Amino acid sequence: MARFDILVHIRRYEGDSLAAGVAFALARRLDAYVSGLYVASLGTVAYSTLETVVFQVQEADEIYHSALAQGESWTQRIGAAGVKGEWLVAQGEPVEAICHAARWHDLVVAERPQLNADAPVGWGLVSRTVFGAGVPVVVVPETTKTADAGERVVIAWNHSREAARAIHGALPLLRQAKEVLVLDGVEQTSLVGARHLPALDLAACFARHGVKAQFRPFEATGNYGAGILEAAHAATADLIVMGAWGHSRIAELVLGGATRHLFQHSDVPLFVAH
Query: pLDDT (tens digit, 9 = 90+) per residue, 1-59?
Result: 778 999 999 998 887 899 999 999 999 999 999 999 999 987 555 555 556 767 777 88
pLDDT over threshold 50, residue 123 = yes
The reply to whether 4-141 and 152-273 are identical in fold is: yes
Mean per-residue pLDDT, 87-96: 95
Mean per-residue pLDDT, 132-149: 93
| CB proximity list for 274: less than 8 A, separation 6 or greater | 130, 131, 162, 165, 243, 244, 245
pLDDT over threshold 90, residue 239 = yes
Query: pLDDT (tens digit, 9 = 90+) per residue, 106-119?
Result: 999 999 986 665 65
Question: Could you tell me which of 114, 107, 104 has the C-alpha nearest to residue 22?
Answer: 107
Strand partners, 33: 5, 84
Q: What is the DSSP letter of 186?
A: P
Q: What architecture is the 4-141 domain classified under in CATH?
A: 3-Layer(aba) Sandwich (3.40)
pLDDT over threshold 50, residue 255 = no
CB neighbour burial string for 218-252, b if at least 16 within 10 angstroms, e if fewer:
bebeebbbebbbebbeebebbbbbbbbbbbebeeb
Domain covering 152-273 assigned CATH 3.40.50.620 in the classification: yes
Q: So where are the chain's domains? A: 4-141, 152-273
pLDDT over threshold 50, residue 270 = yes
Rounded Cα–Cα distance for residues 199 and 195 (Å): 11
pLDDT of residue 113: 83
Percent of the chain, pLDDT > 90?
65
CB neighbour burial string for 85-119, b if at least 16 within 10 angstroms, e if fewer:
bebbbbbbbbbebbbebbeebbbbbbbbebeebee
